[in-house]
Each structure stands twice: as structure tokens, then as C-alpha cells.
Chains A and B, each alone.
Chain A
């Protein structure tokens, strides 16, 4: 007769776990911002790094922000992707102006 109590209890426990995980995340982020982040940003500033070293398989996946205009598609737009990481990442966006003003 008490199935609804068990069900509500399970739902409640799941919500509490999710909230506690979220709280843990917030605390961990604060701790990291205080201790690790300054050192990491010092590294970026000193070595003048521009990208994350996530994918080392091709130039445009190692440095997506520094890639050639059309390297995300290698040969021509919409061509089949050679590297698997290329199907994970979208081509970068470019600003139209004022860096490249039309004359």
C-alpha cells in the first residue's frame, strides 16, 4: 500500500543527490579558482598560449583558433572529414567587421 511513499522517497533522494553534486561542483570550482586558476593563467600569459592541447592529430584540431580559413574542411567545404576529431568540432566562426571591413 505504500508504493507511493517509496516512489516519492526515491525521487526525493535523486533530487537531493543531484543538488549535492551540484553544490560539490560549485565548491570545487571556487577552490580551484582560488588555487589552480591563477597558476594556469600565469602559464597561458607567460608562454602566450592560444589553444587547449586536446586533439594533437592535426594542425587545425590542435590549434582550432589559429587554423587556416578552410582547414576545418581540409580540401573544400563539406568534403568528407579525414580526422575523427573533425567530426566532433564545428568550423570556427569569424567576425565580419570591423576586422575585415568591406570597401
Chain B
């Protein structure tokens, strides 16, 4: 044990002797880990968020397909769906998109039935009359309006319509309602000029969740021009969206891995003459090859473990305390309305372990291998080079 501690002590002294070079490696290494871990934490937290929140989404959503595209669905399709055994309720959903030329942002406009009970996360109330609306905090911020003010938007006849804002969704629900404008169903149909017998899609509730795939198959048989989307598929979409194969993850992981390969290649193809001489001297004064390998192991481990842990802590603070502010411009894309959200801290230790193996192990290996090459050659010839 005492021998190992002495070697560790020597390794640390050796790192301190080349402090500027090693400090630079430490900073770059920590930053790379922070970037990788931030993406992992962010995508994992968003995936978790989606899987918790969307558990109460409709069991099935039935869309009508026309010429390979989503089309308005006849309302009577809901009655056909309701006749299928196992279906509890099928009701049309009316919703659409509105491009606000004033703020150059897109809103999601949703129609609800009048007389809906109040919701905990609505400050004020939901619309109960055709001249009223409730809005998300994004819409409120971008239009600088609040409860009691008017929201003026242009309908499908190119006429500006003023709606009294009766409620705003609270900031806690930003991830769900940031761009939402809620109108009464009748008013939404008038606003978009939807035919009375058409809806955007149909939401289906089933008695037994395990029957959802069977009911979806039956819907396809009864109504062949439709496309049922199950709740499971909705949740799995977010799994796929944020998994490691998604574009962002792939690009950053590949770049980081390539960077590590370059670092490893650079280290593996040779060590400096000074380091070689040091190894030669150590051998000449009686160090074994195994001692030198242990010395190099500790040098690599000290640097990579410190950077790895520092990077992970920095990523955690960045994502969960500062809402991933460094990544925000990348994630935001062209969205004018992008929610400010506070994610629930959650770490996937499996991902951390994988990241550790992909970064710490190659770095240590690339420190040891060239030193091993130098350590097995004759000390005299090493010192002379």
C-alpha cells in the first residue's frame, strides 16, 4: 500500500511539474465532459418529463389520411369508432395552428367545450363564451398581455378578432402550454372556417388499456382511410426523439469520440523526449517496468477522473440550475416561442457509466501504452535519444 501511495505521490508531482500543459488538458477534458453530460442529462430529463406528463394523453388519436397527408376527419367517424367493442368514448378534437405575423411566432389554437371545470394551473378561468380565450405564458409574454386584456388575432376571413383573456396558464405548465391559445370549440370552428361536420382528429378512450392495439387494428379495418396513433406510440415518439441516435446526440457524441481518438492517437504515437528520458532515468535507478506503468496509470487516472467528475458536476448545475442556458440557442432553433422550463433533476447512472468508459478508459490506455513501449527498451538507449 505504502509503495502505491509513493508512486501516486510521484505521479502527482510529475503532473504539477508540467502544470500549464496539464491544466490545459484538464480544462478541455472537463469542458468536453460537461458538454456530453449536459446533453445526456437534458435529453434524459425531457424523456422522463414526457413519459410522466403524457400518461394521461388520449388512449388513441384517430387521424384521417388523404393523399398521404393528415386531413380533417368527418365527425360521424366518432360514432363508428364508438361502436367498436371496448371503446369507452370517442370525441372529436378541434385544434390548429396560427401564425402571428406581428410577432412572427406560431401558436397552437385549441377548442374546448364550454362549461369545463377550472384547472389548477390556470390563473383565472378557461373561456366559456365565444369572445373569450385563455393563453399560455409564451403568448402572454410575446404579446405583452395578461388576464383582463384583449388578444387580437386574424381569422380565416382576414378579419381581426378581439378576445378577452379570461385566464393564463401558469409557468409551471410551460412545457405543455407555452404557445397555447384556448378558445371555445364553436368559436375555433368559426375562426378557422372549419366545416361543421369536420374535426381535426378524434380522441378515443378505451376501457382496458391492454386492448388499445387491438382496437387500433379494428379502427383501421372499419375506417381504412384513418391512422390511429396509440398513447404508447406518443410516449415512444419522445423516447425516439431524445435517444442517442437523434441528430444532436449523434453529432456531439461523434465529435467528442473523434476528438478523443485524436488525443489517444497523439498520445499513443509518441511521448515527448523529456518523458522518455525520465522513464530511462527511473529504470536506471532501479524502477521496474510495472512501477513505471503504475506511475503512468496514476497520471492518467488523476487527470481523467478529476475532469470527469468536475465535468459531470458542471453539467448537472448547467442543466438543472441554469436550464441548459449554453445549449438553449442550439435547441431553440427557429422557434420564436421557446419555453423557459425548469426540469426535474434526474440522472441516468447507466449513461454516466457508459460516458465514463468511453472517455476515462481510452485516456488512461493512451497514457500507458507509449510509456510501456519506452519502459521495455534499454534505459541507456532511451536516455541517449
Contacts and interface: CB of A to CB of B under 8 A. Distances in A.
A68 interface: yes
A89 B57 contact: no
Contacts of A78: none
Given A62-B179, A65-B229, A44 B12 contact: no
B290 interface: no
Interface in A59-92: 59, 61-66, 68-70, 81, 83-92
A4 B346 CA distance: 33
B286 interface: no
A14 B345 CA distance: 18
Contacts of A93: 233, 236-237, 240
Nearest to B333: A84
Nearest to B41: A25
A68 B53 contact: no
A63 B233 CA distance: 13
Contacts of B331: 85, 88
Interface stretch (B149-157, B170-178, B186-194, B266-274): B170-178
Interface stretch (B108-116, B257-265, B370-378): B108-116
Interface in A37-58: 37, 39-57
Interface of A is mostly: helix
B361 interface: no
Contacts of B173: 39-40, 43
A52 B336 contact: no
B281 interface: no
Interface string B337-375: 111000011110000000000000000000000000000
B116 A62 contact: no
B309 A3 contact: no
Given A36-B172, A88-B248, A95-B213, A43 B310 contact: no
B335 A57 contact: yes
B31 to A, nearest CB: 16
Contact of A89 (B56, B105, B108, B247): B247
Contact of B5 (A4, A43, A70): A4
B335 A55 contact: yes
A11 B309 contact: yes
Contacts of A24: 345
A79 B104 CA distance: 26
A52 B57 contact: no
A88 B238 CA distance: 12
Contact of A25 (B13, B120, B237, B347): B347
Contact of A51 (B234, B247, B248): B234
A96 to B, nearest CB: 11
A19 B336 CA distance: 37
A11 B305 contact: yes
A42 B55 CA distance: 10
Contact of A53 (B177, B251, B320): B177
A89 B246 contact: yes
Contacts of A55: 333, 335, 338
A95 to B, nearest CB: 6
A64 B169 CA distance: 22
A40 B53 contact: yes
A3 B13 contact: yes
B180 interface: yes
B84 to A, nearest CB: 14
Contacts of A100: 217, 220
A97 B120 CA distance: 39
14 contacts: A1-B9, A4-B5, A39-B173, A41-B52, A42-B119, A44-B176, A56-B106, A56-B138, A56-B179, A56-B336, A66-B70, A70-B68, A88-B246, A101-B220
Interface of A: 1, 3-4, 7, 10-11, 14-15, 17-18, 21-22, 24-25, 28-29, 32-33, 36-37, 39-57, 59, 61-66, 68-70, 81, 83-95, 97-101
Sorted nearest first, the 7 A-B pairs with minimum C-beta distance are A25-B345, A84-B333, A14-B309, A45-B56, A85-B333, A39-B120, A90-B246
